Amino acid sequence: MDKHTHYWQKIPGIAVVLFILGLIGGIALRLSIFIEPLGQTVVKGVWYIGVISYTIFYFFRISIENHRREICRPDLMKRLENKNLLPQDIVDLREMVASHCRSKVKYNYVVWLLISIISLIGGYSL
């Protein structure tokens, strides 16, 4: 695991950018039902904004999760069980644990749950 292909993750503010893209995508798609009276052109535009935002968001999220999965190596697990870690193993494990500890993904799920519930209620009442 000496070479990481995910250097973009170290870009300052990337987490905020991804969070905003996710919000834009999710809100735009959920807004579609409410803006229907404004016409199909507006709905279609908002839909495209939502899908494009989500596409970029999920491209990076998949890359992040792939990066986190790099730690799941059988040889590392065996050394961990045998308490025989190599210095690079410790570096790799520290990076992965730190990444998980910094992650705010739980809050993302809570926000989307609430926005989805509001959208369902609003869509039902229209």
Give tens-digit pLDDT for 39-64. 999 999 998 998 888 888 888 877 77
pLDDT at position 43 is 92
Mean pLDDT value across the chain = 80
9 confidence band (pLDDT: 50, 70, 90): low
State both tokens at 94.
């520290």
pLDDT at position 92 is 81
Quick one: which of 59, 71, 70, 69 has its CA closest to 8?
59
Quick one: which of 49, 53, 51, 45 has its CA closest to 21?
53
Q: Where are the domains of the chain?
A: 10-68+104-125
Q: What angle do CA 35, 31, 112 make, to 5 degrees?
A: 170
Dihedral sign from CA coordinates of 83, 88, 94, 96: negative
pLDDT at position 56 is 86
